[in-house]
Amino acid sequence: MHAIWHNDTERPDFAHLGGNTDTDILIIGGGLAGILCAYMLHEQGADYLLVEAEKICGGITQNTTAKITVQHGLLYDKLIRRAGEAEARLYLDANRAALDTYRSLCGEIDCDFARQDAFLYTRSDSAKIKAEAAAYRRLGVDAEFVTELPLPFPIAGAVRIGGQAQFHPLKFAYGIARGLRIMERTKVLELREGEAVTNRGIIRAKKIIVTTHFPFLNKHGGYFLKLYQHRSYVIALKNAPATDGMYIDEDERGLSFRRYGDLLLLGGGSHRTGKDGGSWTELRRFAAEYYPRAEEAAHWATQDCMSLDGIPYIGQYAKRTPDLYVATGFNKWGMTSAMVSAMILADLVRGKHNPYAEVFSPSRSIFHPQLAINAAESVMGLLTPTAPRCPHLGCALKYNRQEHSWDCPCHGSRFTEEGELINNPATDDKKNLMHKNRK
């Protein structure tokens, strides 16, 4: 079960930390967001170090569908109504800048970068799509409302924006990582003021950036309430009709489509981590009905951190941690959000003003309906009387029969059947996950 991105890439190797060391800026987490932070700091001549517990891009980055777009679901109409047109424009401008930066960097890296139109469609309620198209136009985006798409089912409507892109995420990440100061197999065990304790020594740093997908430090920021995790699934199909463009349903339970070479990447089957969902079964059933001549070439799954209001948390980790920073809550839009994170954090850690920082501030209001849902899930998980419990905050784990893993519905940690950690925020393995505990 590996994403197709592994088929034609060679991962670079980096040494591990060899003892205590000092740096001005420490980056924890070697996914795309961390690598881009390191790249921007490197280009600015800063003293930095990135550490990764295993191998770079070994987590969520390797499982993306790699769409680079400012079209982030039904976001802009809601954002204008909630926060105003000025804030919505700043969010849009930040992601436009991210897209432009990718265009520039990908010109120097062989990573299959290709311009594509992006489509957000609905099968039920065209009014929502028309409102989103109107929001785009208010913000100066050339958006078109359409009623037909080259998909194997009718739609109620879609909004198209041109000039977006897709690429090969590992070719890009590995290409940009070469030459950076990175230490692999170096796991941070504890953060203290001005230093990180790792399995290979202590790193003293003036500033620390946490890009570990889900923040692992619980005593600051309240991320265990501000975030939840969501799983989604992909199958790669041979002999499916060739379709240009990138397509995604406005319903989080809907389907997404994009091509890579001669493969159609069909995504969907989504659900909150630790809950039941369609998984690959739903996608295979769809493919059998609509693409009967297609053959499955690969399948994989990914996991996304979802914020309360649909905007990532990028900036100072908490109000009381002036030298600690974070990037998380990318809400399924990790490619542009990773670049936005790097642009903002590279400025903040060097004391520079960034025009987009306030929009993404982790200290913004948490009073959204999703907060109550997250709190309820946490309480339910704590009170559920099952034997296997997550070492993160003690919630009951649920056995995932599709992926043969133990998943936490509270905060999204996942473990193999043998108890090895797959996804954070847990930082340690869970021992004694026996087969007899499956329920």
Per-residue pLDDT tens digits for 204-230: 999 999 999 999 888 898 998 899 999
The residue range of the domain holding 265 is 113-164+227-304
Rounded to a whole number of angstroms, the distance between the first and last alpha carbons of the chain is 23
Are 333 and 423 members of one domain? Answer: no
Are 353 and 335 members of one domain? Answer: yes
Q: What tokens were used for 112?
A: 């299959």
Are 333 and 196 members of one domain? Answer: yes
| Mode of pairing for the β-strands spanning 195-198 and 188-192 | antiparallel
Place of tokens 């369609």: 278
Are 243 and 284 members of one domain? Answer: yes
Are 298 and 231 members of one domain? Answer: yes
Q: What does the pLDDT read at residue 311?
A: 97
Q: What does the pLDDT read at residue 438?
A: 53
Are 278 and 405 members of one domain? Answer: no
Q: What does the pLDDT read at residue 436?
A: 43
More confident residue, 41 or 9: 41
Are 155 and 292 members of one domain? Answer: yes
Question: Phi and psi at residue 273, in whole multiples of 5°?
Answer: -55, 135
- pLDDT higher than 60, residue 439: no
Q: What tokens were used for 325?
A: 């920073």
Round the CA-based radius of gyration of the chain to a whole number and report it. Answer: 21
What average pLDDT is seen over the chain?
A: 93
pTM: 0.94
Q: Of 290, 268, 267, 289, nearest to 278 (Cα)?
A: 268
Q: What does the pLDDT read at residue 157?
A: 97
Please report whether residue 426 resides in a domain: yes
Report CA dihedral (172, 199, 26, 211) to the nearest 10 degrees.
50
> Where residue 158 falls among pLDDT bands split at 50, 70, 90?
very high
- Return d(Cα 177, Cα 56) in angstroms, integer: 9
- pLDDT higher than 50, residue 82: yes
Q: What does the pLDDT read at residue 416?
A: 85
Contact 170, 6 (CB under 8 A): yes
- pLDDT higher than 90, residue 54: yes
b/e map of 44-81 (b: 16 or more CB within 10 Å)?
eebebbbbbbeebbebbbbbbbbbbbbbbbbbbbbbbe
Based on the number of CB atoms within 10 Å of its own CB, is 413 exposed (0-12), middle (13-18) or buried (19 or more)?
Answer: buried
Q: What is the tally of structural domains in the chain?
A: 3
Are 159 and 239 members of one domain? Answer: yes
Are 215 and 241 members of one domain? Answer: no
Are 235 and 282 members of one domain? Answer: yes
More confident residue, 430 or 169: 169
Are 242 and 179 members of one domain? Answer: no
Contact 141, 92 (CB under 8 A): yes
